[in-house]
Structure 1
Amino acid sequence: MSTAIHSSYIIPGALYGAAKSIPANPGDFSLRALITPNQLAVLISENKSKKIFQLQPFQFAEHLSKSAWVASINSIIQNEWFFKQEWSIKKIAVFLPDFTLIPRQFYSMETRETFISWNIATDQEDACITDSVDGTDINLIYSSPKQLLWPPHTEIRHSLTVLLRYLLQWHNISRPNNIYTYIQQSSFQLIYFKDRSLHFCNSFNFHSPDDFTYYLLFACKQLNLNPESLTVTFMGEIMRESSLFRLLSRYVHNVEFAQMPTEWQFDKDYTLPGHFFYNLFCI
């Protein structure tokens, strides 16, 4: 395995299930994987019962170059047993920071590269890909490295496409003054619905709790949201004991964690909070 990848013990308690065991009938199971700049997490589940067979995260080394990140992903996909089985369903959601959202009425295949170039510096080594965000009139356009070696017969989506679809379908998005925040190791995504429609969705890089709090409060100001009456729903890599949570709680009184989607079944106690791999459970 690449030296840029660490096995699951980097995330204490995250490994769930029998390591490297293979179901007798892979056709009765599904593979879902979430890829971020910092990790790749794999979820194997039984189709009929939605029982979790295995959850296996791999942590990438910090400060990887783009080429090293791609090489790390390709190494896992080519070498780990998860990606060599004939699962009935194979889905991967990947967070790529170079993306933009546009109304579908203005979208065309001919203009999508122009739209994304307005927001990011394009790379000739990247492919321009479009997801349709279900339940909205919005397309998400993103830039993905062409060197990524995706497994055959696998559905690939941007992780925000998956998360937005799930929130629209299963959450009470009509609740006023509610912001959804998905935390990754060095970035977070901020989502706000208004009048049951997507009103704001953006990603911010941060290096400290102060950075995070500044960006969130600045976004609230732009959206005319009062922090005193605001509810922030956290998902992703954050714990109640963290300095980030404690700092934000000084400014926003109503802070909560998203509950794990209820359709998943576990044979034994799952040691991590349900919000920790939330985007993976949404795939």
Structure 2
Amino acid sequence: MPSRLKTHNTFYDKTFAAGNTVAYYLTLQISQRSICYAVFNPASEKYISFESLIISDADPADETTVLNELLKEKIWLKQPFLKVFFLIDNSFSTLIPPPLFDESKALMYLKFNHPADEAYEALFDSLKTNNVVTVYGALQTLTELAGTTWPDVRFYHCSSVLIESLLINFKNKTDDNTLFLNVRSGGYDLVYFKDKNLHFHNFFRYNTKEDFIYFLLTAIEELHLNPEEITLMLSGDIDKSSILYEMIYRYIRTSHFIERNGVFGYSYLLDDLMGHKHYTLFNVQQCE
């Protein structure tokens, strides 16, 4: 059976050595529609490879199948790495204040907000900078496959990485009129900080451009903000050619694309990849 994975972007620096993975950090991000990964060399403090692949089928695939296909195609990924970060990209997440969080009740919290079936297990991330816990669902078969392939793998939800890294990177660079919008598989995250603390996060699914802008404008109104006065910071799967950007340009006075995080180095080959793309993939290390 031919692979359903089709390469979308691929960059490998000349310093990358597939036989030297034990010296590298590997970060993967997986959804039902795509998978991407990046390799970071801590010795040079630089990202030295990146690849993104999309599912060619019209129907989404389960994430375990996607990872299995990737490991069959990229055998070197099975080798030991110094660190492995694994990002779960789905909408099954919820935020819990630490005083109310009980690890033994993680699945209960998840089921309260999401229809998680028996195929899913509940994982959680403690966001120290934001003082909140993300509880999320992940396919058990997926976590088992990742754990077998990389015994010391560290799981995170995309929303956890987004929230934590945004506060770290923008804490002293924005005001209470700044909103962050990150487009990813199936929808977009909207994040708002007030008085330098997390005030709002939600993931919005949409089917049309009208859905997209309606949810955004409704959230802005409920936050008692003004589309004429806010600054909307954009990241993820969006660019100026996108119909989503066209809607933002029409209704939001000021918007900017997030720049690449200067804390890390990047191969010159990644200059061809827009800096706001794959924001969570390149910032997961800030969650350690």
Asked if Structure 1 and Structure 2 have the same fold, meaning a TM-score greater than 0.5 normalized by the shorter chain, the answer is yes
Question: So what's the TM-score if we normalise by structure 2?
Answer: 0.88
What letter is aligned with 1:146?
Answer: Q
After TM superposition, give the deviation of residue 79 of structure 1 in Å: 4.6
Whole-angstrom CA distance in 2 between matches of 1:77 and 1:201:
33
- 2:205 maps to what in 1? 205
Deviations 1:132-161 (A, max 9, x none): 112122111111111111132211111111
2:5 maps to 1:5:
yes
Residue from 128, 131, 144 that aligns with 1:137: 131
Deviations 1:154-196 (A, max 9, x none): 1111111112121121113651211111112531111111111
- 1:2–1:75 contact (8 Å) kept in structure 2: no
Whole-angstrom CA distance in 2 between matches of 1:2 and 1:260:
35
Alignment of 1:197-236 (within 5 A): 197-236=197-236
- 2:265 maps to what in 1? 264
- 2:35–2:66 contact (8 Å) kept in structure 1: no
- 2:188 maps to what in 1? 188
What letter is aligned with 2:55?
Answer: F
Alignment of 1:115-134 (within 5 A): 115-134=109-128
Give me the identity figure in percent: 22
Over the aligned positions, Cα root-mean-square deviation in angstroms equals 2.1
2:89 maps to 1:95:
yes
Question: So what's the TM-score if we normalise by structure 1?
Answer: 0.90
Distance 1:23 1:172, change over 3 A: same
3-state DSSP of counterpart to 1:15: strand
Aligned pair count reads 276
- 2:103 maps to what in 1? 109
Residue from 40, 47, 65 that aligns with 2:42: 47
3-state DSSP of counterpart to 2:22: helix
Distance 1:241 1:79, change over 3 A: closer
Structure 2 residues without counterparts, runs of 5 or longer: none
Moved over 6 A (4+): none
- 2:164 maps to what in 1? 165
3-state DSSP of counterpart to 1:140: strand
Structure 1 residues without counterparts, runs of 5 or longer: none
Which structure dedicates a bigger proportion of its chain to helix? 2
Alignment of 1:235-246 (within 5 A): 235-246=235-246
After TM superposition, give the deviation of residue 259 of structure 1 in Å: 0.2
Distance 1:185 1:62, change over 3 A: farther
What letter is aligned with 2:25?
Answer: S
What letter is aligned with 1:86?
Answer: P
What letter is aligned with 1:15?
Answer: T
Distance 1:107 1:268, change over 3 A: closer
- 1:16–1:270 contact (8 Å) kept in structure 2: no
